[in-house]
Amino acid sequence: MKRFLLIFAFFSFALTSVLYAQQLPLYSQYMMNDFFINPAIAGSKDYSPVLLSIHKQWIGINDSPSTQTLSGHTMLSNNNVGIGAIIINDGFGPESRIGLHAIYSYHFHIDRLNKISLGLSAIAFQYKMDQRFFNLTIYDDPAITYMVEKTIVPDATFGVYAYGKRYYAGITAAQLFQSKLKINRNLDDNTMVRHYFVMGGYKFVFPNSPQLEIEPSVLMKMTEITPPQLDVNLKFYYDKDYWFGMSIRPGDAFVTAIGFKHNQYYFGYAYDFTFSDLSGYTFGSQEIIFGINIGENVRRSRSFF
């Protein structure tokens, strides 16, 4: 029964244009891996971060979404151009895709502390649908071929990012090409939907408690055919090397996250407590991140900004 529900959810998710779901991977600790969302962030740090993220969604449901992402970015010596790359492997039931993002950004200096950047990500991914082991109750569905189908899909993401010593804000348009997935001759509209992300955050410091910092942030996700989805986040730092955070996705999940940093290395863990209609089938979701900030001057500053 769970397998049937999963397959049904997949086709509702991926093969229809009238949907209420995200086609892009979901991240619980997006504050730590915001480069995945906005290519204009490439080169915005004083160091070169390399990050591995492993996200497992809906634990307890067979073949539930699983995403592994490896990324890195840096600023070139002219202090205006950032470059980066992302490798992503994403799977959900019979669907999987492996993609590569090549990223370029340009940074404008408003003044000594404030900048605005524009970023573009050129994307290519292989999309695969394995229908060999479907177990359906209707065997003459023209949408099912019972074969392994593959296709290479190009795409692009554009982002704008404004940032300073304590704040950041950005907007992203993803899946700009709205490419068609040519994987089934019986379906005419396997189209990727354009996604939009709006993010912003501010880190508060307290002169009387210099070891404590608090960072509220928001992330709004939307498509051209679905209503907006909002993440509201609150993160606490202690001595810049330890943090605890929480997020709320109305109608979906409550997220808790913890992490620590040692010199240039850091680790984070997040758990999503699901309270949507799926709560009766899953124990929630988990995410682990590992990172290193290459070239970071630890003595001068250990902040992630």
Q: What's this model's pTM, rounded to 2 decimal places?
A: 0.82
Question: Per-residue pLDDT for 262 more than 70?
Answer: yes
Ranges of each domain in the chain: 2-294
Query: Does position 303 have pLDDT exceeding 50, yes or no?
Result: no
State the Cα–Cα distance between residues 149 and 172, nearest whole angstrom: 30
Q: What is the pLDDT of residue 137?
A: 64
Question: For residue 145, what pLDDT band results from cuts at 50, 70 and 90?
Answer: low
Token pair belonging to 108: 């404008």
**CB neighbours (10 Å) of residue 176?**
16
Q: What is the pLDDT confidence band of residue 186, given thresholds at 50, 70 and 90?
A: low
Alpha carbon distance, N-terminus to C-terminus of the chain:
47
Segment 1-51, tens digit of pLDDT: 334 333 334 333 333 333 334 567 777 777 777 899 999 999 999 999 999
228, pLDDT greater than 60: yes
CATH class of the structural domain 2-294 = mainly beta
Strands (E), the chain: 48-59, 66-75, 81-92, 95-109, 115-130, 148-163, 167-174, 195-202, 204-205, 212-223, 229-238, 242-249, 253-262, 265-274, 284-294
Both tokens assigned to 264: 């240039």
Does residue 158 have a pLDDT over 70? yes
pLDDT score for 12: 38
